[in-house]
Amino acid sequence: MSSIAAVGTEHSLVFVRTAPAPSLPPPFASTGVIGWMRTNLFGTPFNAVLTVLIVLFIAWAVPPLVRFLLIDAVWSGSDRQACLATVAQPHIGACWAFVREHLAFFTYGFYPIEGRWRVDIFFAMLAFGMGWMLWLDAPRRGLGALYFFGIFPIVSFFLLYGLPPLGLEIVDTSLWGGFLITVVVAVVGIVTSLPLGILLALGRRSQMPAVKIVSVVFIEFVRGVPLVTVLFMASVMLPLFVPPAWSPDKLIRALVGVALFSAAYMAEVVRAGLQAIPKGQWEAASALGLGYWQTLRFIVLPPALRITIPNILNNYVSLFKDTTLVFFVGIFDFLKTIEASREDPTWATPVTSASGYAFAALVYFTCCYSMARYALGIERRLGRSERR
């Protein structure tokens, strides 16, 4: 560098920089909060107008909502008096006291009070099994699957329904209710719909025309009608088709309806996964001398199911939301307990309904949203291995 400076005469006034100029700070308006706002909120005139409108909308909508849900809300009380507007407190928000008072009913329904520990153990077992299945790096996940799909359903049946030799009294399913029923319906749907769905999907892709036609007709029929009608069918027609002696109880009928319905949707999800497996895989397995079921077990199903996991989980989210429909066949699921308590005269206030629904929405949203986020996480994880 100095050699360049030395090119001119000693007295040259030409200034030659010998080091790079220090970089100037970025313009004030393009960094920090202001810069972010300029690019993301006021980028174009249209965006600026939109931003102003939305800010106005938020200012109009959010404060009353926060006031209703938190600030003006009534947190404790023993009856409707607590949640009625008075001169001292003219604005009454959500009546959380009502929710607190009915929380046990929302959770257990009419399950006998002295037997509620059984339900608590069921929830604990479920949480344990779900944790084991959902934590992808958990040890012995094969054992976990055996527990979740095999041991857990059988044990919980006896735990909840009763087993007199062990001192567990029989609790009729008509007494079950609340979140318990929602979970039972969802778990039965989850546990039965996957195997049934895989069988139907395989049937649909079968080379045997009779098997294929039967599967297609079943899948398209169930997918073409609303779940409400399937449940009505299960509830009014099932008793007709079995001898009166073994007429199934109301819950079983609803469970059959939900299982068949979700199996048909699951079949379509699994079919998409099966279609992604190249034909060469089947042919290679044949060439190795593997039979049909061996090919499925070792070659086709593992990758097909793996890529389908996010869709399966999203299907479970729909299933969880659809459990609310057992409402129509007279089963006291979580939503129905809220709907029934809402009309409880001891808590009749103008805000009771809204409070009950807000609580229900919070519970359903928490369950469904976490499942959906988990599915998204799996999808990203799978995507990472695909991208390599």
Partner 1 sequence: MASAPASTPETSFLRDPRVRSIFWQVLLLALLAGAVVGLVRVAAGNLRDNHITSGFGFWNQPANFDISQTLIDYSSSTSTYGRAFWVGLCNTLLVAAIGIVLATIVGFVIGIARLSTNWLVAHLAAGYVQLVRNVPLLLQLLFWYNAVLKALPDFRDSLHLPGGGYLNNRGLFLPSADFGGAGETIMAALGVGIVATIVLVVLARGGRIAAGLATGLAAAFLVGLPVVAALASGAHVTFDFPQMSRFNLRGGMEVIPELVALLLGLVIYTGAFIAETVRAGIAAVQRGQIEAAEALGLPRILTLRRVIIPQAMRVIIPPLTSQYLNLTKNSSLAVAIGYPDLVQIFTGTVLNQTAQAVEIVAITMAVYLVISLVTSFLMNLYNARMALRER
- Please list, residue by residue across 334-362, b when 16 or more beta carbons sit within 10 angstroms of its beta carbon and e when fewer do: bbbbbbbbbebeebebebbbbbbebbbee
* Closer of 8 and 43 to partner 1 (Cβ): 43
Of 19 and 240, nearer to partner 1 (C-beta) is 240
Instruction: Show Cβ contacts of residue 296 under 8 Å, excluding neighbours closer than 6 positions.
Output: 202
Smallest distance from the beta carbon of 331 to partner 1, in angstroms?
A: 13
* Contact call for residues 225 and 265 (beta carbons, < 8 A): no
Q: How far apart are CA 387 and CA 379, in angstroms?
A: 12
Residues 234-273 that bind partner 1 (CB under 8 A): 236-237, 239-244
Q: Are 159 and 122 in contact (CB under 8 A)?
A: yes
If binding is defined by CB under 8 A, does position 158 make contact with partner 1?
no
* Shortest Cβ 250–partner 1 spacing (Å): 15
DSSP character at residue 20: P
Which span (6-14, 36-44, 158-166, 169-177) binds partner 1, by CB under 8 A? 36-44
One of 56, 71, 225, 272 touching partner 1 (CB under 8 A) = 225
Does residue 78 touch partner 1 according to CB under 8 A?
no
C-alpha to C-alpha distance for 363 and 84, rounded to whole angstroms: 25
| Closest to partner 1 by CB, 297 or 321 | 321
Q: Taking a C-beta distance cutoff of 8 angstroms, is the pair 336, 242 a contact?
A: no
Footprint on residues 353-382 left by partner 1 (CB under 8 A): 353-354, 357, 360-361, 364-365, 368-369, 372
Least Å from the CB of residue 114 to partner 1? 31
Q: Is 29 in the site for partner 1 (CB under 8 A)?
A: no
In the complex with partner 1, which residue's Cβ is closer, 165 or 244?
A: 244
Can you list the positions of beta strands (E) in 118-184? none
Find out whether 318 and 51 touch, Cβ atoms under 8 Å: no
Q: Is the dihedral of CA 98, 100, 104, 106 positive or negative?
A: positive
Q: Shortest CA distance to 338 belongs to which of 368, 321, 358?
A: 358
Q: Is 45 in the site for partner 1 (CB under 8 A)?
A: no
Query: Pseudo-torsion of CA 293, 298, 299, 301, nearest 10°?
Result: 70
Can you name the residues that pair with 95 across neighbouring β-strands?
74
Q: Which of 125, 233, 290, 305 binds partner 1 (CB under 8 A)?
A: 233
Which of 339, 348, 379, 382 lies at the binding interface for partner 1 (CB under 8 A)?
339
Report if residue 155 touches partner 1, rule: CB under 8 A: no
Site string for partner 1, 293-332 (x = CB under 8 A): ------------------------x---xx-xx-xx----
275 binds partner 1 (CB under 8 A): no
Amino acid letter, residue 101: E
Number of residues in the chain: 388
Residues that bind partner 1 (CB under 8 A): 40-41, 43-44, 47, 50-51, 54-55, 207-211, 214, 220-221, 223-229, 232-233, 236-237, 239-244, 317, 321-322, 324-325, 327-328, 335, 339, 342, 350, 353-354, 357, 360-361, 364-365, 368-369, 372
